[in-house]
Amino acid sequence: MDLLIQNISKTYPNGVRALNNVSLTIPVGMFGLLGPNGAGKSSLMRTIATLQNPDEGSISFGELNVLAEKERLRTMLGYLPQEFGLYPNLAAETILDHFAVLKGITNSKERKASVEALLQQTNLYHVRKKSVGGYSGGMKQRLGIAIALLGNPKLIIVDEPTAGLDPTERNRFLNLLGEIGENIVVILSTHIVEDVRELCRNFAVIANGNVVFTGTPEEAITALQGKIWKKTVEKTALPEYHKNHRVIATRLIAGKPVIRVFAETEPESGFEPTETDLEDVYFYHVGASAAEEKEAV
């Protein structure tokens, strides 16, 4: 059951145009929505989750008209926002039981079985009676995904789930998401390229409220293969290289800037061809969008 987003636009009362004619087809499996902070990712997630109305456009999930049948969509939706509140003095099993009631799981035996199963799945069963105020950031995120999984949702949205997590908790959380995303639609909204590279069969890049790329990681990398060049330069020379070349990224290696440039052929003497990765794809498309925005002003 695909999620079909067609021509969604949203401008807030302060004049900020968060989404501009966004169209996406999101199939079953893990789908990455990649973009910088402020690109429109959270606005799109809130719109899909029926928390706000777009100015125009439509969203369908299978045969369901999402914007016209919000309550039906919510019965099959699991949503983990970027920031969510938990009662710090309550135990995880108590919080999960409370949300299970809100999800409509009224049979006490069924609810208890569901809560225990989710605590096991998210590796929180051993701390189920501990107050969540003492949980680490990763444990709170795993409890958040347990809440989102209540009621066997067909569509799950997770917004910036690994931001601020240490590497161990990040890997644990990504493994959990990978298990979940086999047979349902899971949208992973993030600015962290590695999350998409490790998990997602399909992804889109969004910048300045526009979808600037959609496809598979393999397709995206292949399209730029042989067109990314690198060179170690002096810091004082950086402005000149930015002026004369399409610099998509600068990385400090051993204290010296290494620039990565997009060019069909060798830009100039001293540049080396380099293997393209998904980070190059991201910077290329986001940079192109920023350049277009600047020219339009």
CATH number at residue 169: 3.40.50.300
CA distance 184 to 30: 8
At residue 194 the predicted structure's pLDDT band, cuts being 50, 70 and 90, is confident
- Give yes or no: residues 101 and 238 share one domain: no
- Give yes or no: residues 172 and 261 share one domain: no
- Give yes or no: residues 57 and 183 share one domain: yes
- Give yes or no: residues 179 and 112 share one domain: no
- Give yes or no: residues 211 and 232 share one domain: no
Inter-CA distances, 138 with 32, 161, 283, Å: 20, 9, 28
pLDDT value for 254:
85
User: For residue 212, what are the domain limits?
Assistant: 1-76+154-216
- Give yes or no: residues 38 and 97 share one domain: no
pLDDT value for 166:
82
Q: Tell me the mean pLDDT in the region 92-118.
A: 92
pLDDT value for 297:
46
- Chain-wide mean pLDDT for the chain? 90
- Domain boundary (201, 216, 231) is at 216
Instruction: Tally Cβ neighbours within 10 Å of residue 251.
Output: 11
Q: Burial level of 72, CB count in 10 A (0-12/13-18/19+)?
A: middle
pLDDT value for 165:
79
Q: Tell me the mean pLDDT in the region 250-275.
A: 92
Look at 58-67, 75-84, 91-100, 103-112 and tell me which has the smallest mean pLDDT: 75-84
- Give yes or no: residues 143 and 113 share one domain: yes
Q: Tell me the mean pLDDT in the region 145-153.
A: 90
- Give yes or no: residues 38 and 181 share one domain: yes
pLDDT digits (tens, 9 = 90+) for 23-46: 999 999 999 999 988 889 989 999
* Residue 95 pLDDT > 70: yes
- Give yes or no: residues 61 and 178 share one domain: yes
* Residue 296 pLDDT > 70: no
Question: In total, how many domains does the chain have?
Answer: 3
- Beta strands, E only, the chain: 3-11, 17-26, 29-34, 56-61, 64-65, 77-80, 155-159, 185-190, 202-207, 210-215, 228-232, 246-253, 256-262, 272-273
CA distance 280 to 221: 8
pLDDT value for 162:
81
* Residue 295 pLDDT > 60: no
pLDDT digits (tens, 9 = 90+) for 44-82: 999 999 999 999 999 999 999 999 999 999 999 999 887
CA distance 150 to 148: 6
Contact between 124 and 146 under an 8 Å Cβ cutoff? The reply is: yes
- Give yes or no: residues 133 and 13 share one domain: no
3-state secondary structure 19-30: EEEEEEEECCEE
- The closest of 29, 41, 42, 23 to 84, measured between CA atoms, is 42
- Domain boundary (216, 244, 262) is at 216
- Give yes or no: residues 114 and 148 share one domain: yes
